[in-house]
Amino acid sequence: MRSIKCFCGACELMLKQSTPLLRQFCGCKDCAQGLRWAASKGGPKPKFLPELIYFKSDITCVRGEMFMKPYKLRKSGSSTRVYCNKCYALIGVDNPHYQDNVFLQVLGHFATDIEFSIKPSAAIFMAHHLSTQSAEILVDIPIFNSFDNPDDLHRWMTITSVRDTFKAPERPPSGRSFRELIASFESIEVLNLQVGAEPT
């Protein structure tokens, strides 16, 4: 069975379904800030444009839970990020919009034996992204600068892989969901980072 691991080997999630449901680029400030914060603690240096992978939220086995810790960037933040507190690899991210159907990972920020043949479906929140290099890699996929316009949100949700990823689960997980894993921790640490600020 395929798994997601940290880089030091302390943490591992065994997945019921290892084939990702969705892959997309994200230029949002929070994705970048979360990755930079982990890098400041010794985690991997983030790419200039993160590539997000979404896995089905069905975990059959958790190893090294005592070395995992959940964080929020700020009190008002909607996403909860779980890191290995030894090597600061990303274990996963939950957000209410995922409806506990999936959890998020970022390529290059975890170890795995899973092959990623799935191609990116979109690039989102590109208005937040300052790099001009993004135009060199985003070929033949739709680009969304923001979702302030409801028409853009609707257009994004018409992409089949996006729609299937963010729908409510059709059945309960056979193991634990990622949200249930987060709920098992005593508390979530709030980092109190200002939006877009460089972590120190």
How far apart are alpha carbons 174 and 74 in whole angstroms? 32
Domain that holds residue 25: 3-190
112 φ/ψ angles, rounded to the nearest 5 degrees: -165, 160
User: What is the tens place of the pLDDT at every residue in 10-42?
Assistant: 999 999 999 999 999 999 999 999 999 999 999
User: What is the tens place of the pLDDT at every residue in 42-74?
Assistant: 999 998 899 999 999 999 999 999 999 999 999
Q: What is the DSSP letter of 143?
A: B
48 φ/ψ angles, rounded to the nearest 5 degrees: -70, -20
Contacts (Cβ under 8 Å, ≥6 apart) of 83: 38, 41, 43, 68, 69, 71, 89, 90, 91
User: What is the tens place of the pLDDT at every residue in 73-96?
Assistant: 999 999 999 999 999 999 999 999
Q: Is residue 197 part of a domain?
A: no
User: What is the tens place of the pLDDT at every residue in 164-193?
Assistant: 999 999 999 999 999 999 999 999 999 999
Give me the number of domains the chain comprises.
1
Q: What is the CATH number of the domain that holds 120?
A: 3.90.1590
User: What is the tens place of the pLDDT at every residue in 142-165?
Assistant: 999 899 989 999 999 999 999 999
How far apart are alpha carbons 115 and 95 in whole angstroms? 24
- Higher-scoring residue by pLDDT: 107, 127: 107
What pLDDT is attached to residue 140? 83
Are the C-beta atoms of 5 and 112 separated by less than 8 Å? yes
Q: Is residue 130 part of a domain?
A: yes
Q: How many CA atoms lie within 13 A of 159 on its CB side?
A: 21
What pLDDT is attached to residue 105? 98
Are the C-beta atoms of 113 and 2 separated by less than 8 Å? yes
Q: Hey, what amino acid is at 89?
A: A
Q: Is residue 154 part of a domain?
A: yes
Q: Where are the alpha helices (DSSP H) in the chain?
A: 29-40, 150-157, 160-165, 178-183
63 bridge partner residues: 12
- Higher-scoring residue by pLDDT: 7, 132: 7
Q: Is residue 198 part of a domain?
A: no
Contacts (Cβ under 8 Å, ≥6 apart) of 165: 21, 22, 54, 98, 101, 102
User: What is the tens place of the pLDDT at every residue in 108-140?
Assistant: 999 999 988 899 999 999 887 755 455 545 568
Q: Is residue 199 part of a domain?
A: no
Q: What is the rounded radius of gyration, in angstroms, for the C-alpha atoms of the chain?
A: 16
Best CA proximity match to 27, nearest among 125, 148, 134, 162: 125
Best CA proximity match to 183, nearest among 65, 53, 86: 65
